[in-house]
Every structure is written in C-alpha cells, then in structure tokens.
Structure 1
Amino acid sequence: MYKSYVSVSGMTASTGSMGKKAISISGAVRNIGSNKLDAIFEKNKYMSEIYPTAKSRTALEVFCLYRGQGEYFDLSTKPITRGSFSFGGQKLKTFGYYISDNCHGCGLCVEKCPQNCIDSGTPFEIKQEHCLHCGNCYEVCPKSAVIKLK
C-alpha cells in the first residue's frame, strides 16, 4: 500500500504441473477500507481459520487493483498458450522477442526453441501466443536478428 502497486501470481491446483493454468497481474492499487472484509471472508471460508477473530483481522487491508496488465499461461496445451491483457486504461506493454529482417534463415533459433514456436519464412517468425520468453533464440542467432522487447 505504501507504493500503491501490487504484483500477484496464481496457479490452478490441478494435479501434475503440465495441467496447470497460471495468471500474473501487476498494477496500481488503492485502499478501499475494511467494509469489504466481511464479503471477502464470506466467499473464502478458509480465511476464518487463519483469522478467527475481529481483532486478528485488523492486520488486513482491502485494496482494489484498478489499472494494470497481466498475462496468463495454459500449460495443458502443446505448445503452451500464453496471452497478455491490460485493464483500467493501462496501455499494454509488450515483452518477449521478435525476429527482424536481418534474419537469413539459418534455423538455429528453431533448433533451440523449447516450444517449437518459430515458423520458417523470410524472416522467421515467433508465434507469440506460445513463446516462453526464454531467450534461447536471442542467444543463438548469429546475425543478431532476434530483438528483445523491453
């Protein structure tokens, strides 16, 4: 609350890591008071086990994440599925890698990609919806044709 910013990640509880889905969200927050605390405890009954009394709940703050961006992963698909989104008027910042026109088609990036998400062509193309953003393609490209977005 001091910086009015939060980053939260969550993952489904399915058995086996490759059946999981994950989401990460970051953005601006504001304190909305403790009057929503009862509603949170009503929807999350296990919270009463952790904070059993009204006095124990005074350490908790309720906040609203009102502007930001996030991404999701579906590890149950092959290759994995990845997507980005923004909300509350936040402009979506793009991350990851793309292949520029300097590509001469050697295919080293394809060999190094763990998700097989690079299509051949002139230039080769990274399918962003499956990219892990691992940077293997960036590291192996002899022509520096792979560009890292920041």
Structure 2
Amino acid sequence: MEEKDILWGLTDVNTMEEIREKAFALIGKIRFMPAATVNDGQPENRILDFNRLSDGNLYFMTSKGKPTYEQLCKRPQLVLNTLIDERYSLRLSAWVSETEDQAVWDEFFKLNPGTKEMYRKNFDIVALYKLDRGEGEIFHLYANERIRRLRFAFGGDEIRSMTYRITEECVGCGVCQENCVERAIHQKEDGKYYIKEMDCDDCGICYTKCPQADTALICRLKEKGET
C-alpha cells in the first residue's frame, strides 16, 4: 500500500473538516456500530444504528423505555469504536441531544421504514438523537505498514491532545528519536526534536527514555494527574 493511500489519501495537511467529513461518511456507510454510555460509573455497550441525513449530521433512535435512554438523560454522551476492513479503526466521542425537528424525523423514517412500522402506534415512546459535538480519530492499524492516525473535532469541541509532546527545553540529544518505534520523531533546524502526530503510536517509549522527562518531554496524563 502506498503511504499516501494509508488513510484514504488523507494526511496531516488535510483540514480538520476534511478528516471529519471522511469519518462521518464512514459511519454513515457502516451504520451499525458499538456505542458505549455510562451507567452509575460503569461502562455499558450496545449496537446502535447511525444514519447520516441530508444535513450532513449523524442521528440514531432509541426507545425511551430502554436503559440507553435513561443513561443518555443522565449523561448525553456516546463513545463509538469500530473496525473497518480489518485494517482501520474509527473512534468517536460525542455529546448528543434529542431533536423534535419534524423534517428530520420524516427523513429518518424514510430511510428506516421498518422502524416506522414498528413504532407506528407509539411514536411518543422513541427518541431521535443528533450527534452535536465531539472529537474522534481514524487510525490505520498494524500490519506490514506503519500506523497512521488523524484526529478531528466537530461542533466546537477541541481535538484530543496526544499524550506526549516535546517542549522547548529539549537539548537535542536525540535519545527519543533513536528509540521511537514508529520513526515519528524528527529534528528541527534548531537541533530540537518534535513528534509528528500522524505517525505517533502514543506508546510512551520516548518518554521513558528521555533523560529530561517531565521538562523536555511532557506526559499529558501526569500534567492532569491521571497517572
């Protein structure tokens, strides 16, 4: 596989909107994806049917009598993750909201006549949700080629930061580059190093090898106290 084709021709020179568009198109094509919610602090997972409508947004429907609905009322957030063609993963974390827009309902039911037939006598028992905002990633998995990842955000949210970053305290010793398994660390003209995020496995080897870890090479998890 040509390097430029690893993520459907997308690279880190593409705009975030172009990356998001590809991710949404993939979800709209796949439709049925595992989606996790939180129930009293514990994760719960199920398959939901995601539909991409003409406005470009993603929607799904659930019954108000299901635990999914109760959990979304308490915390309206979903985390999606799926495998594509045995070579790619797609992750999305999104905040959702119910929509009462009749035009959206009509279009959704046009695409899902079986669902409309199922609830024809009880439309008030179902809720239609829109994915409002969030962040995600498309990822090329290990095989013979190197990994590739591209992150995106939508609806005003921010891209999730990589776990590790090299700061201006870098002295240019090169230990991080020597130990990087994905050849994702490069040297700048000033002698300092940087991590090319698209190539980074986010594994932390560079951090464990850096003689100035926590100053020249920072772990985001430690900054947030998550370790």
| TM-score, normalised by the number of residues in structure 1 | 0.71
> What letter is aligned with 2:199?
H
* Structure 1 unmatched runs, 5+: 15-19, 43-47
Compared CA separation, residues 101 and 89, structure 1 to 2 (3 A): closer
Partner of 1:100: 167
What is the Cα deviation at residue 8 of structure 1?
A: 0.5
Q: Establish whether residue 133 from structure 1 lines up as the match of residue 202 from structure 2.
A: yes
What are the ranges of 5 or more consecutive residues in structure 2 without an aligned counterpart?
1-71, 222-227
Task: Tell me: CA distance 1:78–1:105, structure 2 relative to 1, closer, same or farther (3 Å).
Answer: farther
Partners of 2:212 and 2:131 in 1: CA distance = 42
1:68 aligns with 2:140: no
In 2, Cα distance between equivalents of 1:31 and 1:96: 33
Q: Could you tell me how far apart the structure 1 residues matched to 2:110 and 2:88 are?
A: 26
Secondary structure at the residue paired with 2:118? coil
Shift of 1:74: 2.1
Give the distance between the partners of 2:85 and 2:88, measured in 1 at CA: 9
Q: Distance in 2 between matches of 1:123 and 1:32?
A: 50
2:94/2:131 contact within 8 Å kept: yes
- What does residue 86 of structure 1 align with? 153
Task: Give percent identity, aligned residues only.
Answer: 27
Q: Deviations over 1:51-88 (max 9, x none)?
A: 9x938xx9975422111111111237843221111111
User: Would the aligned equivalents of 1:101 and 1:123 in 2 still touch at CA under 8 Å?
Assistant: yes
- Decide whether the 8 Å contact of 2:149 with 2:199 is kept in 1: yes
Q: Is the Cα contact below 8 Å between 2:84 and 2:90 reproduced in 1?
A: no
**1:88-132 alpha-carbon deviations (Å, 9 max, x no partner):** 122334232221222223322123222111113421111111111
Rounded Cα–Cα distance in structure 2 between residues aligned with 1:142 and 1:111? 13
Q: In the TM superposition, what is the alpha-carbon distance from 1:13 to its structure 2 partner?
A: 2.9
Check if 1:27 corresponds to 2:94.
yes
Cα offset, 1:149, TM superposition: 3.2
CA gap of 1:40–1:140, structure 2 versus 1, over 3 A, is farther
Equivalent pairs counted in the alignment come to: 135
Q: Relative contact order: is structure 1 or structure 2 higher (C-alpha 8 Å, sep ≥ 6)?
A: 1
Aligned letter for 1:91? E
1:147 Cα deviation (Å)? 1.2
Q: 1:54 to 1:37 in 2, by over 3 A?
A: farther
- In 1, Cα distance between equivalents of 2:186 and 2:172: 10
> Aligned pair in 2 of structure 1 residues 77, 37: CA closer, same or farther (>3 Å)?
farther
